[in-house]
């Protein structure tokens, strides 16, 4: 699978990650307020991030995007992974928005761009995600964008899906 393409939207664009951007992702991911919303909350070293990137480049089922403003400012990141073209589904996640860009509609626009790309270009029919129940801003956004609760799992994880039809 090709590692995606630039996705253009109103006020933002999503660009597939390059090696020069992995430190931005690492720093964003390691902030305590962001780390607590990930299922794996371990601190990521530069070495671990470089190894993750090498594995990412080999993976055929994983797309990671940097979210940019039209002024070329890095806003955050978002991923489409566990892409299964046979079952026509993928997982949406790894969404982080820098604090000074939150509550301005960037996450909503980014998710909408990835949904459109997944359904129209990758020919997927379903997206799923897991979110902590306590992560109310993300949970509320996913519901607003049409994701439905499938079940609540242990430790307050909620599984949500969005069907194309």
More confident residue, 110 or 32: 110
Residue 1 is predicted with a pLDDT of 43
Q: Is the pLDDT of residue 154 over 90?
A: no
Residue 152 is predicted with a pLDDT of 84
Say how far apart CA 9 and CA 109 lie, in whole Å: 7
Say how far apart CA 132 and CA 37 lie, in whole Å: 7
State pTM to two decimals.
0.93
**pLDDT band at 2, cuts 50/70/90?**
low
Give the right CATH number for 7-163 from 3.10.20.30, 3.40.47.10, 3.40.630.30, 3.40.50.970. Answer: 3.40.630.30
Q: If we measure between CA atoms, which residue out of 46, 6, 38, 4 comes closest to residue 22?
A: 46
Q: Is the pLDDT of residue 160 over 90?
A: yes
Do 136 and 125 meet the contact criterion of CB atoms below 8 Å apart?
no
Residue 3 is predicted with a pLDDT of 80
Give the residue-averaged pLDDT of 81-97.
Answer: 97
Which pairs from 48-51 meet CB under 8 Å and 24+ separation?
Answer: 49/22, 49/23, 49/25, 50/22
Percent of the chain with pLDDT over 70: 99
Say how far apart CA 165 and CA 109 lie, in whole Å: 20
More confident residue, 41 or 148: 148
Task: Show the beta-strand stretches assigned E in 36-147.
Answer: 62-69, 74-84, 89-97, 126-132
Q: Where are the domains of the chain?
A: 7-163
Residue 97 is predicted with a pLDDT of 96
Distances (CA, A) of 104 to 10, 115, 132: 12, 19, 22
The mean pLDDT of the chain is 94
Q: Which position has the token pair 């799923």?
A: 128
- For 8-24, letters b (16+ CB in 10 Å) and e give ebeebbbbebeeebbee
**How do residues 11-58 score in pLDDT, each as one tens digit?**
999 999 999 999 999 999 999 888 888 878 899 999 999 999 999 999
């Amino acid at each position: 699978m090709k590692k995606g393409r630039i996705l253009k939207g109103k006020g933002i664009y999503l660009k597939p990650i390059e090696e020069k951007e992995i430190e931005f992702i690492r720093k964003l991911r390691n902030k305590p307020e962001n780390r607590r919303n990930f299922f794996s909350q371990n601190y990521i070293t530069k070495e671990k991030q470089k190894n993750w990137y090498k594995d990412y480049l080999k993976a055929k089922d994983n797309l990671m995007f940097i979210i940019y403003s039209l002024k070329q400012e890095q806003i955050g990141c978002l991923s489409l992974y566990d892409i299964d073209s046979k079952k026509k589904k993928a997982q949406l996640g790894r969404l982080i928005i820098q604090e000074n860009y939150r509550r301005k509609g960037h996450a909503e626009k980014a998710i909408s761009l990835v949904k459109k790309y997944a359904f129209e270009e990758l020919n997927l029919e379903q997206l799923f995600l897991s979110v902590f129940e306590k992560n109310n801003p993300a949970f509320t956004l996913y519901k607003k964008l049409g994701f439905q609760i499938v079940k609540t799992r242990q430790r307050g994880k909620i599984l949500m899906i969005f069907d194309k039809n």
